Structure 1
Amino acid sequence: MQSWPVQDAKARFSEFLDRCLDQGPQMVTRRGLPAAVLVPVTEWQRLQAQAGPSLKQLLLTDEVRGELILPTRGRARRRVIHAQE
C-alpha cells in the first residue's frame, strides 16, 4: 500500500484516486502517522457486507434480545467492610 502525505494527496488528488483504482488502497499520513485510507468502492462494499452489526445497532434494534446466552452467576458474595473506629 502506497503512503501519501496529506498535502500530496490534496495537491494530486486525481493521481491519488487513479492509483487507488488501479493499485488498491492508498494510505494518507499526517505528520508521518497513518491517518486514513482511500479504498475502491468495491472493496468498501465487500468490507461492509462482511461486517456484523455495530453495538449501537444491536442496542437500538426492535428485535427481542432475550436469546442472549448469559454466563451463570457464581457463588461469590459481596465482602462486608467494617467501619474503622
Structure 2
Amino acid sequence: MAAKKIRWYIRAQLGVLLLPLGLCLVGEAISRRTLQVMAVLVKAPPTGPWFWYGTLGLICVTAGVGLMVESGLLSGYPRQAR
C-alpha cells in the first residue's frame, strides 16, 4: 500500500511541476517569436528556434494538467480500505 501512495504522490507532484514549466516555455516561445518578427523589420539576425520551445511547452502543459486531473479527480488520495 505504501508503494501506491508514493507512486500517487510522485505523479501528482510531477503534474504540479510540469504545468508552470510548460507555461514558461510557451512564454519564452512567444517572446522569441516577437523578437524574430522585430528582427526581420530591422534586418537583424534571427533569434532562435521559437517553434520547438512552444511545442515542448504545450506538451508540458498538457501532460501537467493531465497528471494533476488524473491523480486528483479520478483516483484521489489513496486511502486505506475499511
Q: Identify the TM-score tier after normalising by the shorter chain.
A: under 0.3
TM-score (norm 1): 0.26
Structure (1/2) with the larger strand percentage: 1
Quick check: which has more Rg, 1 or 2?
A: 1
Structure (1/2) with the larger helix percentage: 2
> Which of structures 1 and 2 has the larger relative contact order (alpha carbons within 8 angstroms, sep 6+)?
2
TM-score (norm 2): 0.27
